[in-house]
Amino acid sequence: MNKLKTPFLWKKKRSKKEITQVLFPDQILKAFFHFTTDAISISDLDNNIVLVNHAFEQYYGWSMEEIYASPLCFIPEEYKSETKQLFDAVRSMGVLLTNYETIRQRKDGTKMDVILSAAPIKDETGKIIGASCITRDISERKKIEEALRQTEAKYRLLIDHTQDIVTIYDLSMRRIYASPSIEQLGFVPAEVTSPNNLQLTHPEDIPMFRDKFQEIMATKQPVHFETRSMDRNGNEVSFETRGIPILNAVGDVQNVMLVSRNITERKYSEAALFKSENTNKIISEYTDDLILITDKNGDILYLSPSHSRVIETSEHCRQLTFAEIHPEDRQTVIDHFHLLLATKEAKICEFRFQTKNNKWIVLESKGAPILTKTGDCDGFIIVSRDITERRHNEELLRKAEKLSVIGELAAGIAHEIRNPLTSLKGFIQFLYPSMNDNQQYADIMLSELDRINFIVSELLVLAKPHSIQIKPLPLIPLLENVLTLLRSEANLKNIDFRTAFAYHPIIAGEENQLKQVFINIIKNAIEAIDGHGEVVIATTLKDNHQVLITLTDTGCGISEEMIHKLGAPFFTTKENGTGLGLMISSKIMKDHNGSLEIKSREHEGTMVEITLPIVQDQIGSS
């Protein structure tokens, strides 16, 4: 092998013991040599390794004898030429080699990364007599560095491709880095990291941004906040930002990194949702519809405020029950719920409901299931509407239609009866002068014909609306006149009339029609009393310039089921009744802008309340 010529040669071949004595003048150096964890080798000018420490043998796995026999066994073939040139420079020119990274090979063939330092060895005269080499295994460090490099590459890839905008600021709040995602604002990274930084923060948010930056600096902790930026076109863009401090080796803040997520669409959605919720809240709070939401177990989750107004209670139960539903309608409602569960389709049900004030109202309810994504029922929403007034109006319409038919029939009957009545009355009057001894019978016949004519006229009340002669009437004399007319009949049945006329108003009305109303009601009261009893007639002045006439009897009363049918055409509780009296009376009251209401309990008696407008009232008593 050709050797590089060097100016320094061994004067004589020295033994291993002699070299050792030259190299280790004291025991301290020997201890360092043998017990250091770095691999140390000593080579002569011929590149022969003459000495290695214990760490060297552990590093590579070769013993000193094996290395002496093959000095370059631990150097991979591709690195031998490079190593020879480096060490020739050390031995021939005294070059110091420090922290040189290269590859070495163990006895088992595995390769390892090492860092080595080499220096020439000189004798007492300063001549180079060999070279020393200190080697350190840096394989683990290389693995860590590679792992770190790969991690940095992954994070770089993540930052470069994330939709979040990543920016880094120095301590003077100057932007020194911006991720490519800054392009969503219409800028490129170079524009926002140039010495003349563009101001991206919304002017109104700059003070808040500075405060958050100072908070990060002071606390050295991440901070969350929302801010607005301006894009290239001057449009506002909302961001949810996380500020993170970047600390140096001693724990001081070196930079601040901001990770910002565009939440503009979310903000728009939140605003739209808030508007929708606010609108729905206004609807649910001010609508008269009853809105109820339950879970699948029937526990009530929401009750609209209209429950307090319509059902007249502010106490909201927590469990859906059917206790307030009318017993006759309860099974129908339960069946609708079962059908709702089975079909999972909205259903409409109508039923009677009792309020907290024991008042029955009619509700029309539409129930719909709340379904999950899998189609399972998660609860119910029930929207109910009070249709009591609508049902009442429909009933009035049906009654009006019946009255119209009856009126037309009554008008036809009255017309047909009046024709023969005219003839009969005319011939009787014609024959009257010749009926010398029988004129009293003619008077009776004429009187009865007048009575028939009056009854026929009353039938015309049921006909289509016609004008009535309204004039001021004193109410009390009219009532006393009726009582006088019926007193004899009452006396026959041992029934007393008692009056309590606290007011003597002047009313406006048609006298004969009003008399007919009071006669019908008082006669009904007399017929309802079996044995001794009384009928009480009283007047009371109401606040709205009306007079209330109450007629109370101690008769048999009427059941709750029957009372709702009173006033219907041809409905009567009397054996020989026609069912037209109350119907005619109700129509007369309506024509007089008044009202007629019947309250009764079975076996306790009946009270009829008649309301009429007054023209003038006088306080009195009788």
Check residue 21 and give its pLDDT.
Answer: 55
> Residue 619: pLDDT above 50?
no
pLDDT at 462 over 70: no
Q: In the prediction, which pLDDT does 621 show?
A: 42
**In the structure, what pLDDT confidence band is assigned to residue 551 with cuts at 50, 70 and 90?**
very high
Q: What type of residue sits at position 46? A: D
What percentage of the chain exceeds 90 in pLDDT?
A: 17
- Stronger pLDDT, 451 or 607, i.e. the higher one: 607
Q: Give the model's pLDDT for residue 622.
A: 40
Residue 404: its pLDDT value, please? Answer: 67
- CA 248 to CA 245: how far, in whole Å? 10
The predicted model scores a pTM of: 0.39
Of the ranges 11-25, 428-442, 448-462, the best mean pLDDT one: 428-442
Please provide the average confidence, as pLDDT, over all residues in the chain.
81
Q: What is the set of domains in the chain, with CATH numbers?
A: 20-138 (3.30.450.20), 162-267 (3.30.450.20), 285-385 (3.30.450.20), 392-462 (1.10.287), 471-617 (3.30.565.10)
- Taking only the tens place, the pLDDT of each residue in 78-103 is 998 898 888 889 888 888 999 999 99
Question: Over the stretch 473-487, which tens digit does the pLDDT of each residue have?
Answer: 899 999 998 888 788
According to the model, what pLDDT value does residue 289 have? 81
Task: Give the tokens for residue 223.
Answer: 């901070």
- Annotate 236-296 with DSSP letters as a single string: EEEEEEEEEEEE-TTS-EEEEEEEEEE-HHHHHHHHHHHHHHHHHHHHHHH-SSEEEEEET
Q: Contacts for 167-176 with beta carbons within 8 Å, 24 or more apart?
A: 167/192, 167/257, 167/258, 167/260, 168/246, 168/255, 168/256, 168/257, 168/258, 169/213, 169/255, 169/256, 169/257, 169/258, 170/255, 171/217, 171/253, 171/254, 171/255, 171/256, 173/210, 173/213, 176/255
Q: What is the pLDDT of residues 387-421, one digit of tens each?
A: 888 888 777 777 666 666 666 777 777 777 777 88
Q: Is the pLDDT of residue 72 over 60?
A: yes
Q: What is the pLDDT of residue 239?
A: 93
pLDDT band at 6 (very low <50, low <70, confident <90, very high): very low
CB atoms within 10 A of CB 516: 18
Confidence at residue 46, expressed as pLDDT on a 0 to 100 scale: 84
Measured over the CA atoms of residue 11, residue 17, residue 22 and residue 23, the dihedral's sign is positive
pLDDT in tens, 153-196: 777 777 676 788 889 999 988 998 888 888 889 998 888 887 76
**pLDDT at position 558, please?**
82
Reading the block at residue 330, the tokens are: 């309860």
Both tokens assigned to 56 = 């060297």
List Cβ neighbours of 85 (8 Å cut-off, separation of 6 or more): none
Mean pLDDT, rounded, for 538-555? 89
Residue pointed to by tokens 């299931």 = 369
Q: Which residues of 417-442 are buried (b: 16+ CB within 10 A; e: fewer)?
A: eeeebeeebeebeeeeeeeeeeeeeb
Q: What is the pLDDT of residues 108-129, one digit of tens each?
A: 989 999 999 999 998 888 899 9
pLDDT at 220 over 90: yes
**Residue 486 corresponds to which tokens in the numbers above?**
């019926």
Q: Looking at residue 223, what is its pLDDT?
A: 94
> What is the structure's pLDDT at 13?
47
